[in-house]
Amino acid sequence: MGSVLHIHEQRRWTQHRDERAPHRPVSRSQEAFMSTVISRLSRRREAGMSTAEYAVGTVAACGFGGVLYKLLTSEPIQNTLKDVISRAFSLFGG
């Protein structure tokens, strides 16, 4: 809904001056100013969404780390890793 409102506001401020009400003249500098303000406000909203995405990504990374930790600390995986490492050292004269 925010993006639809943003598009509506941006269109309103970037319309041709002849289409505006005659009692409310707006200069080009005012149009540019309002366009800049609307653009910055929309970017600010996007920054909030990015923060939420980072939070979800962080939680997912923590969950993945927990699963990986449990997997790597399990006895069968540790034994397999020890065998692979000892074979690698035996091949290279360790």
Name the residue type at position 41: L
C-alpha torsion angle, residues 69, 72, 75, 79 (rounded to 10): -160
Quote the CA–CA distance of 16 and 9 in Å, as a whole number. Answer: 14
pLDDT of residue 92: 85
If you count them, how many residues does the chain have?
94
Q: Is the pTM of this model over 0.75?
A: no
pLDDT tens digits in sequence order for the chain, 94 residues long: 455 555 555 555 555 555 555 556 678 888 888 888 888 777 655 556 678 888 999 999 999 999 999 999 999 999 999 999 999 999 887 5
Split into its structural domains, the chain has a count of: 1
Given this model, what pLDDT does residue 48 score?
63
| Full residue range of the structural domain in which residue 65 is found | 2-91
One-letter amino acid of 34 = M
